[in-house]
Amino acid sequence: MNKVLLVFALLSVLILVAAKKPKDKPEWAKKDIRDYSDADMERLLDQWEEDEDPLDDDELPEHLRPMPKIDMTKIDAADPESLLQMTKKGRTLMTFVNVAGKPTREKTEEVTKLWQTSLWNNHIQAERYLVDDHRAIFLFKDGSQAWTAKEYMVDQELCESVTIENKVYDGKHVKKTHKSDEL
């Protein structure tokens, strides 16, 4: 009786093992890895990522993140910049800043570095890149901070202008130079 049960148990195990045998591999998977084409590598990557959990919104690349939710009840119709500021929340934004006068590259570096430090001290993170002897780009990872930074920079004595989203804001200590603002 024990022998019959033992044989029956072994047969059951063999049947289960045979049933769990993995499916045959596709032709492309049987090749040597050195012979894989780009299409084979793409299929391998897709297979690898098949069971991965999707990324959180904040981990996605910026162009794949959902747009920020805008509360239309908080929008002031008299202030279109506030709407623009809300839409740039969490998005990268470049701001161009011109230094007044005819400064040297070193003077522009010194002045814009001081402005950047002041912004960082106010918890506004901006990367700074010189693009000309009198011009710099401030890159904001959170674009909504650009308007707060603009308010600070246009108050500075050596700020000629700040450009955000193709709108030029003149420095308060410099005469207007842009005809589009005079119309």
Where do you find CATH 3.30.70.260 in the chain?
Answer: 83-182
pLDDT tens across 54-103, in order? 777 777 777 777 777 777 777 777 777 777 777 788 888 999 999 999 99
Q: What CATH number is given for 83-182 in this structure?
A: 3.30.70.260
Give me the percent of the chain exceeding a pLDDT of 70: 84
pLDDT tens across 137-167, in order? 999 999 999 999 999 999 999 999 999 999 9
Report if pTM > 0.75: no
Residue 180: the pLDDT is 47
Bridge partners of 161, per DSSP, are 98, 170
**Which of these, 65, 71, 101, 92, lies nearest to 83 by C-alpha position?**
71
Residue 17: the pLDDT is 61
* Lowest-pLDDT choice from 2-16, 30-44, 50-64, 115-129: 2-16
